[in-house]
Amino acid sequence: MKPGNKKLMLFATFLSLTGCTDYGFDPVATISAAPNTVKPLDDASTSRLYLSVVNGLIEQGRYRAALAYLDQYAVQERKTPYFQQLHGEALLGTEQYEKATAAFSDLERTDLEPDGFNGVGRVKAAQGDWAGAVDYFQRAVNVRPSSAEFLNNLGYAQLCVGGEAVPAAEFNLRQAQELDPGSTSIRNNLVIALMMVGKDDQARRLLSGITSSREREEVQAFAATWLKQRMHAGDTAKEEM
């Protein structure tokens, strides 16, 4: 699970997205040698292979190791958009938010521009700036509207903003689920959205589709706790006004 998600619980693939209160082959054997034994990169295929190893490290949550290999890569290779994307992920994983934002921002006007917007959104989410996260996730969706991941991130951030953003969150999460019906993250976020807008019957029908009774109970309990905590936070904010 990517940085920030420890707080988010159900927020997708970020950090994936982190609490308003989910890459190729196994790289372990490939990178077991000491860093000074890494052979110089001499062609595009070797470069892609190297970055796929870094990608695997990030997927395993080994962000500091990923940064070390990215630094090694940068000594000999041009910093491609894919490099910048992985660099942003590794920096986000080590909570270097300003540097992560800069790395993701470098993806503007490249083929990975929407991934850059999504990355900055996840940085904002990790910092608890949900309004800022909504802004960047919306930019990502505008460029790549068929991405279930981006729609899920946007929908969850809108749930965290609350208020008038909740109906939009429901719409975006429904759309995300149609694009990726098998995603448990999207399903769980949609359950929360339906409960927030008072569509408890629809939330129960969605929950009834979970075959495992234990998983069903866990999702239901989490959604109820999430809503309770949100209501408590809202009451506290009113008292402080």
Per the model's pLDDT, the better-predicted residue between 210 and 130 turns out to be: 130
Report which of 38, 100, 108 is spatially closest to residue 74, judged by C-alpha positions.
38
**What predicted TM-score, i.e. pTM, was given to this entire model?**
0.78
Report which of 134, 42, 120 is spatially closest to residue 85, judged by C-alpha positions.
120
pLDDT value at residue 118:
97
Q: What is the mean pLDDT of the chain?
A: 81
Q: In which element (H, E) is residue 24 found?
A: none
CB 140 within 8 A of CB 114: yes
pLDDT band for position 100 (cuts 50, 70, 90): very high
Length of the chain: 241
Residue range 106-139, pLDDT digits in tens: 999 999 999 999 999 999 999 999 999 999 999 9
pLDDT value at 207 more than 70: yes
Residue range 12-62, pLDDT digits in tens: 433 334 345 433 333 323 333 334 444 444 456 677 888 999 999 999 999
Percentage of the chain with pLDDT > 70?
A: 77
pLDDT band for position 153 (cuts 50, 70, 90): very high
Structure tokens at 237: 């904010």
pLDDT value at 102 more than 70: yes
| Cβ partners under 8 Å of residue 182, min gap 6 | none
CB 130 within 8 A of CB 110: no
Least confident of 13-22, 91-100, 206-215: 13-22
CB 76 within 8 A of CB 16: no
Per the model's pLDDT, the better-predicted residue between 66 and 234 turns out to be: 66
- Amino acid code (one letter) for 4: G
The fourth-level CATH superfamily of domain 5-240 is Tetratricopeptide repeat domain (1.25.40.10)
CA–CA distance, 28 with 196 (Å, rounded to integer): 43
Report which of 228, 171, 160 is spatially closest to residue 199, judged by C-alpha positions.
171
Q: Cα separations (Å) of 63 from 70, 71, 134, 200, 215? A: 10, 12, 25, 40, 30
Domain residue spans of the chain? 5-240
Residue range 159-175, pLDDT digits in tens: 999 999 999 999 999 99
The arithmetic mean of pLDDT across residues 76-91, rounded, is 91
Which range of 49-53, 62-66, 223-227 scores highest in mean pLDDT? It is 62-66
CA–CA distance, 206 with 187 (Å, rounded to integer): 8
pLDDT value at residue 240:
52
CB 137 within 8 A of CB 118: yes
